[in-house]
Structure 1
Amino acid sequence: MVMFYFNQHPVSNSFFIATAPYADRGLVVGRVPFFWYDAELDIFQGDIESFTTASDISPKVYALNGYEHVSSMKSDPNNERLIYLDYQRQLIVALENFNTWVNTNITERVIQEGLSDTYHARIAYDWLTGNIYWTDNKYDWIAIKSVDHPDTSAYKILIHEGLRIPKAIAIDPIKRFLFYAEYGYSNTILMRSDLLGGDRKIIRSGLRWVSDMIADHHSSMLYWVDNTRLSVERSDYDGNHWEVIYRKSSNVFFTAIASYKNLVCMVDYYIQEVSCINKITGTVTWTTSYNYKFPWGMDAYAIDNHPQEAHPCQNYRCSDICINTNDGAKCICKEGYELEPNNPKNCIASNILKGKRLLFTNGTDVCMFDIRVLTGYKDNASCFMHWNGTINFIVVDTNRTKLFFHDESKSEIYSYDLKTKTSKNLVTSGSLSGLQYDWIGNALYWSESDIGAIKVASASMTDMTTTIIHNLDRPRNLEVYPHGRMLFWIAGTSNAPMIQSYSFDTQNVVTILNRATLKDPKALCYSAGHEKIMQFTTLVEIQSHQGTYMMELVGLFFQLIYRRSRPLLRWPLLIQIFNGKKLVNACETNNGGCEQICFATTYTDRECKCSFGFEIETNGLNCTSKCNDELKKILTKISTAITIEYQIEHLRTPSKLEVGPGAQKE
């Protein structure tokens, strides 16, 4: 039987007639390269529900490039397309003209470049709009792109604020929900949002290592694999009716999960095995062993997994990305662009930086890279400001899109508006040895090593300077921690260095590290997310015909920038990061004051949550265990299987209470 249907190109909105035989179905498994085995796709063709372990099912093979690593995979049988994330090349790739017989001229097309090099990243696919979603736990964001957009570097970051180590991701395009797991060593949480990344809600906590998940739109159930708990689990879309449907007895490394009708299938990389189980009973229906050939990514390729229906984006012409919402179609723009005020479907550049960027100066020019060069993305540097002077310090105000810099030859601090491209003299200074910007107080701080002082001035008012700290020993490389109301700097000589701090609350200078633990630090960087001050003892030396310059480090992997773009860099002196609104997230600091889970509701507000078995106290910060009497009343009413395991610190056994129909008995 062959079904004919109308399909829409997600960008052009043109229509064409396509065919998709119901017989063109099966389970597609990505095998990673290992010693003498090259990467390949194994296609187990047929109705997956008819697979039995006793039957001999030989897969059809599609050879990939020998070094590819398919770390996540999604199918699009309506468009004869298979999409996968290639960990080795840091790409999202589409195989066009794909079918399970592998009898067509299959072609490879790159959808997205510049992903970070992590095999924990996963993808989710909206087959109605043709949008691909992916997690990136190095950049801590969830991004989206139309698979048919011709620009392979165009993407939009949907979720970034308050997001920590996202891994698994799933989507239900029919009910318009996005699900993702935020990893924590002792507490992984499952989140739900709309397809725009808004209306975020914690639906499940108390999990451990959720490596992959899938949303079953037929039953409105969410399925996931947890490597620490050795289990396959499920809940409804609200996080209720949570249960373990399958558990292994020993170490596992689940890398993928797929759903098809009454089955869920999993890849266990640790024992090189692919298996399918019944969704309700957990009974194993089919298993195949790979014998040292190491499967990883997987998906069910079946048209009945991807029903077509009318949707708001179907006839909506967005220039970049169209997303279905409960209020209709919504156009969004790729990074660095915004909707045109008089045309909510067309995107225009929002400022000259066009998204998250690394800024650097060589003294006379300020230039930029795409921030993804930090993980290997190749990007050409472009310069946007030329200055007749000597720039020796730059800092950025990402919220107000302003750049601040110090001209050493004029001993003055200037501001530069990234939208209007105009500069303004703010304040006259001495000889600077450090410059930082406080994005909460909208203030500039700088150190003057020759007079041993740290000064402050308003970033919006001119000629108003105050010396806040005197009598320091050669302060330099200043760092500011706005949420903690603190300053950090390097002091002393290269033979007797110190790292010191100043609290605006106590107004005391404290030496936190001295020469006994330091080795001539060259730069500092305070990470609010990790609540750590980082010191760099080795700087990147840039050789040029005009001498050797030292690049100040504010992050990691800057050697990649120099190595990949040497002709354009010339002699950079300083680097700063233009990184949107991430810095003002209330949960970044001290977990927002929450005892257990901090959930950022806006850029500056947060809400405290508690793990399963705890409830929030009246102060809104701390958590209290629910009383034993209440638990006893609940437990006496439960007639199904119950598993209670206690935390054993040395064994690191997960704490949990699992109840519900079909819960696994132990």
Structure 2
Amino acid sequence: MDTDERWDNVNVLTNSDGDLEINNSIHDTDGSKAFGIKSYIPKRSSQKYLRPIYIASGIAAFIIIVIIIITVSVTGSNRGKGTDSSGLLPHGLILHNNDSFWSYDIKNDKAAFLFNVASINYFDVFSRKMIILSATDASKIISLSHKNSNPIQKNTSFIFEERRIKPQGIAIDFITGNIYVVDEISELVVVINPQSKNYNILLSDLKKPREIVLDPVQGLMFICQVSDSILKGNMDGTSLKKIVQNSEISAITLDRKTRRVYWVQDFISIESSDYEGNDRKLFFADSVVIVSLAILDNQFFWLWPNYGHINATLWSCQLHNDTCEEHVMHKLDSFHNAKHIKPSMYQNEDSPNLCKVNNGGCEHLCLTTRDGGRSCACKLGWQLNPDRKTCRLVTDFIIYVVDDLIRGRIVDNTKTALIDVFWPTLYSVESVKTKGTIDFDYDLTNDNFYFSDDVQICQIKLRSQSNQTVLMQNELFYTIEDLAYDWLTGNMYYSLRSKLHSRRHYLMMFNVDRGSEHKKVIANFLYDSVFGLQACPYALALYPTKGFLFYTAGEDTQRSIQRMTMNGTKLTQIFQIPYVHEHRLITLDYEKDKVYWIYSTEDSFTKVKYADFDGNNEKIIVIDSMRMARTISVHHQWLYVSNDSSIWRVHKETGLGLVRIIPTYEDDRGKIVGARIISSSVQATGLENNPCAINNGGCERFCFAAPKKTCD
């Protein structure tokens, strides 16, 4: 029998390279072994049967027998399988355990095997056409459907892959076909177009999102934040709000006919409310943990998980005026360890689809929104142009580090959705004992994120997948205080603080393209026996097009801000400032040629000063209600200041208009340990006339582009 005719099992596995493999296995329906048939022809009669007429008759008989066997076998192979002759998934419930899908026939109260899929995490059903699933051990979204409308054969395709997330909940917009995915680890929601493969992070800064359900006709989505709340918003991510707040919320489903949302409360009871969170009712109180909910044909279903040797159990009741009447138990004798249930039915596909023709006029993504409308969105790393249809690459954004993740956001406080620039990227450090922040810089042209801990400087890419690499390991008796990257020459500047009073502090540099084996000492500083920071360079800031290097230097109980050229000459002390031992103490305003620094930070306010590059025209800003500032950046007319929990924006000259821009929704989203603005308007300046761009400017070791080209 041909393999394509008997593809009953589809096993999705992960190989050593992290890729998914599809294994097909063929077996008899009853599990019996195949057997052979021997024909015995007496030797004395063999010549008789070699006559042409007998040979032709034998061949014809053999063909007829084979056809009969295949027909019987195919017919038998469909028995007990959850398929129909149309090749569609059956009408009813779809259930899964760790490694297989089954259908449940409500009328006959029987579960039937569909196919095997190893390591299933979560799934949804698209109008009986296909199953969309995520695998537990892989960062991939997969679709399963009947191949060529044949109920025996299965078609498997990969829709999405991104190793930096782990998909959990999945929901399908049956109007547009867009797929919504919840990532509980990075606490975000992703929207994917399976045809174009375009995708974007719809929402972030959520709090343990577990499940997502959609009402595409109304253009609404509901997100279950496990053990916290239920969020409601438009399917384009706008107008997000909490409609239910409780500490023990788990599974969720919708009754789209009555526009009610149902959820598991306290693990053993089911409650409901309308779409606004009002008219809250107790629907059913149980005594066993409930793990999954579904509604189909005016019947409500809930699932008990396995308990030791007791198999998972399916329950149902008739829905009547939002009450549960005559609940019934359905034993799943042939199906063990059920995890989730989803309805398989024809959806309301006659609803207007404004995205059907020419993608709704949208360049990248067309999203369903409130009351049958449509909204255009861009793929990750791009943003809408003023026409609200076409897209452009994001070139101005804020990078911040929260706990062990690097994140990026569009600099636009008017938006709350589709504002991420790249996937949250995991990084690792060896030690940050001497400082409470992560020092970093970013090369916008080459997508290189540089950061340091106490002992090393590392590199990782943000817009594409890459592994973290070590660029430089420092000496044994020194710690790295800060780093700054010169985007014109590729030179990396960093400060070293000595642990021993017999040694000096250093301001160093190396070229990231030529390697850290060749380093240059820009300046060295005396060690103070009392404070250990006498003139030690701490926070760094570069102005590559002017050739300026600014840094703070510790002296006794004061710090001074000093300026020199980037090749280490023309040292100038600008002014004294109070001792504030935090990271991004200074930043530069490249448009107005100003230097900003955190002057003092208290429990209820923060003071920021700014002045000209020569120290003149000093002014002060008082930022009320902004406490314990740690980092500072300037972009256009705005000043961005962060503390442990948030990033705030104020006017850079008045300190007015304080707005929190990060986090967007939930508080307590982790500790922010670094933040700065990245802008193409800054890093693109001087690139066209860069004297060091070609062949390192003709320099053997180091090329310094400004104030005039010099070699070292």
Q: Which residue of 2 aligns with 1:206?
A: 246
Instruction: Report the Cα distance in structure 1 between the residues aligned to 2:138 and 2:254, rounded to whole angstroms.
Output: 27
Deviation at 1:118, TM superposition (A): 5.9
Deviation string, structure 1 residues 552-585 (Cα, Å, up to 9, x no partner) = xxxxxxxxxxxxxxxxxxxxxxxxxxxxxxx989
Deviation string, structure 1 residues 321-370 (Cα, Å, up to 9, x no partner) = 21123494322122222345678235546589962356555999985345
Q: Which residue of 1 aligns with 2:177?
A: 130
Deviation at 1:295, TM superposition (A): 0.9
Instruction: Report the Cα distance in structure 2 between the residues aligned to 1:244 and 1:180, rounded to whole angstroms.
Output: 20
Q: Which residue of 1 aligns with 2:460?
A: 368
Which of 135, 141, 161 matches 1:113? 161
Give the letter for the 1:273 counterpart. Answer: T
Indicate yes or no: 2:90 matched with 1:40: no
Q: Which residue of 2 aligns with 1:320?
A: 364
What stretches of structure 1 of length at least 5 have no aligned partner? 1-18, 33-38, 373-378, 398-402, 417-427, 434-447, 473-484, 490-501, 508-530, 534-582, 591-599, 610-666
Deviation string, structure 1 residues 19-59 (Cα, Å, up to 9, x no partner) = 98999412110121xxxxxx1111124xx4xx4xxx55141
Q: Which residue of 1 aligns with 2:331?
A: 288
Deviation string, structure 1 residues 419-446 (Cα, Å, up to 9, x no partner) = xxxxxxxxx875799xxxxxxxxxxxxx
Give the letter for the 1:288 counterpart. Answer: K
Indicate yes or no: 2:507 matched with 1:411: yes
Q: Which residue of 1 aligns with 2:236?
A: 196
Q: Which residue of 1 aligns with 2:381?
A: 336
Give the letter for the 1:196 counterpart. Answer: D
Identity %: 16
Instruction: Report the Cα distance in structure 1 between the residues aligned to 2:93 and 2:337, rounded to whole angstroms.
Output: 16
Instruction: Report the Cα distance in structure 1 between the residues aligned to 2:278 and 2:249, rounded to whole angstroms.
Output: 19
Deviation at 1:466, TM superposition (A): 4.0
Q: Which residue of 2 aligns with 1:57?
A: 110
Change (3 A) 1:102 1:73: farther
Give the letter for the 1:27 counterpart. Answer: L
Deviation string, structure 1 residues 606-637 (Cα, Å, up to 9, x no partner) = 8999xxxxxxxxxxxxxxxxxxxxxxxxxxxx
Indicate yes or no: 2:390 matched with 1:345: yes
Instruction: Report the Cα distance in structure 1 between the residues aligned to 2:484 and 2:141, rounded to whole angstroms.
Output: 32
Instruction: Report the Cα distance in structure 1 between the residues aligned to 2:87 and 2:350, rounded to whole angstroms.
Output: 15
Indicate yes or no: 2:84 matched with 1:26: no
Q: Which residue of 1 aligns with 2:215?
A: 172
Which of 260, 265, 268 matches 1:221? 260
Which of 126, 130, 136 matches 1:76? 126
Indicate yes or no: 2:140 matched with 1:91: yes
Deviation string, structure 1 residues 175-205 (Cα, Å, up to 9, x no partner) = 1111112234xxx111111112121111111
CA contact under 8 A between 1:60 and 1:102: conserved in structure 2?
Answer: no
Q: SS where residue 460 of structure 2 aligns?
A: strand
Instruction: Report the Cα distance in structure 2 between the residues aligned to 1:109 and 1:22, rounded to whole angstroms.
Output: 17
Change (3 A) 1:412 1:222: same
Instruction: Report the Cα distance in structure 2 between the residues aligned to 1:168 and 1:107, rounded to whole angstroms.
Output: 26
Deviation at 1:249, TM superposition (A): 1.4
Deviation at 1:235, TM superposition (A): 0.9
Deviation at 1:604, TM superposition (A): 5.3
TM-score (norm 2): 0.48
Which of 602, 612, 615 matches 1:505? 602
CA contact under 8 A between 1:340 and 1:348: conserved in structure 2?
Answer: no
CA contact under 8 A between 1:144 and 1:156: conserved in structure 2?
Answer: yes
Deviation at 1:287, TM superposition (A): 1.8
Change (3 A) 1:324 1:506: closer
Which of 271, 275, 299 matches 2:342? 299
CA contact under 8 A between 1:125 and 1:131: conserved in structure 2?
Answer: yes
Give the letter for the 2:101 counterpart. Answer: L
Instruction: Report the Cα distance in structure 2 between the residues aligned to 1:144 and 1:381, rounded to whole angstroms.
Output: 25
CA contact under 8 A between 1:392 and 1:405: conserved in structure 2?
Answer: no
Q: 1:402-441 maps to which residues of 2 (within 5 A)? A: 406-407=493-494, 411=507
Change (3 A) 1:393 1:114: farther
Change (3 A) 1:261 1:117: same
Indicate yes or no: 2:304 matched with 1:244: no
Q: SS where residue 389 of structure 2 aligns?
A: strand
| Structure of greater Rg | 2
Q: SS where residue 124 of structure 2 aligns?
A: strand
CA contact under 8 A between 2:123 and 2:131: conserved in structure 1?
Answer: yes
Give the letter for the 2:422 counterpart. Answer: G
Q: 1:514-529 maps to which residues of 2 (within 5 A)? A: none
Deviation at 1:149, TM superposition (A): 2.7
Deviation at 1:95, TM superposition (A): 0.7
Give the letter for the 1:41 counterpart. Answer: F
Deviation at 1:89, TM superposition (A): 2.4
Change (3 A) 1:415 1:230: farther
Q: Which residue of 2 aligns with 1:260?
A: 296
Instruction: Report the Cα distance in structure 2 between the residues aligned to 1:588 and 1:235, rounded to whole angstroms.
Output: 33
Deviation string, structure 1 residues 274-311 (Cα, Å, up to 9, x no partner) = 222333332323522358821113211100x4433113
Which of 302, 308, 315 matches 1:275? 315
Q: SS where residue 356 of structure 2 aligns?
A: helix
Change (3 A) 1:333 1:245: same
Which of 637, 661, 672 matches 1:603? 661
Deviation at 1:82, TM superposition (A): 1.2
Q: Which residue of 1 aligns with 2:202?
A: 158
Instruction: Report the Cα distance in structure 1 between the residues aligned to 2:510 and 2:386, rounded to whole angstroms.
Output: 31
Deviation at 1:143, TM superposition (A): 1.2
TM-score (norm 1): 0.51
Change (3 A) 1:313 1:169: same
CA contact under 8 A between 1:456 and 1:468: conserved in structure 2?
Answer: no
Deviation at 1:168, TM superposition (A): 2.0
Instruction: Report the Cα distance in structure 2 between the residues aligned to 1:137 and 1:432, rounded to whole angstroms.
Output: 50
Deviation at 1:106, TM superposition (A): 1.6
Give the letter for the 2:260 counterpart. Answer: M
CA contact under 8 A between 1:321 and 1:331: conserved in structure 2?
Answer: yes
Instruction: Report the Cα distance in structure 2 between the residues aligned to 1:338 and 1:350, rounded to whole angstroms.
Output: 10
Give the letter for the 1:324 counterpart. Answer: T
Higher relative contact order (CA 8 A, sep 6+): 1
Instruction: Report the Cα distance in structure 2 between the residues aligned to 1:468 and 1:345, rounded to whole angstroms.
Output: 50
Deviation at 1:103, TM superposition (A): 1.4
Change (3 A) 1:452 1:165: farther
Instruction: Report the Cα distance in structure 2 between the residues aligned to 1:404 and 1:160, rounded to whole angstroms.
Output: 34
CA contact under 8 A between 1:180 and 1:191: conserved in structure 2?
Answer: yes
Instruction: Report the Cα distance in structure 2 between the residues aligned to 1:585 and 1:243, rounded to whole angstroms.
Output: 43
CA contact under 8 A between 1:407 and 1:413: conserved in structure 2?
Answer: yes
Deviation at 1:382, TM superposition (A): 10
Change (3 A) 1:300 1:468: same
Deviation at 1:601, TM superposition (A): 9.7
Instruction: Report the Cα distance in structure 2 between the residues aligned to 1:331 and 1:273, rounded to whole angstroms.
Output: 43
Q: SS where residue 355 of structure 2 aligns?
A: helix
Change (3 A) 1:166 1:601: farther
Change (3 A) 1:329 1:413: farther
Give the letter for the 2:231 counterpart. Answer: M
CA contact under 8 A between 1:189 and 1:202: conserved in structure 2?
Answer: yes
Change (3 A) 1:365 1:205: closer
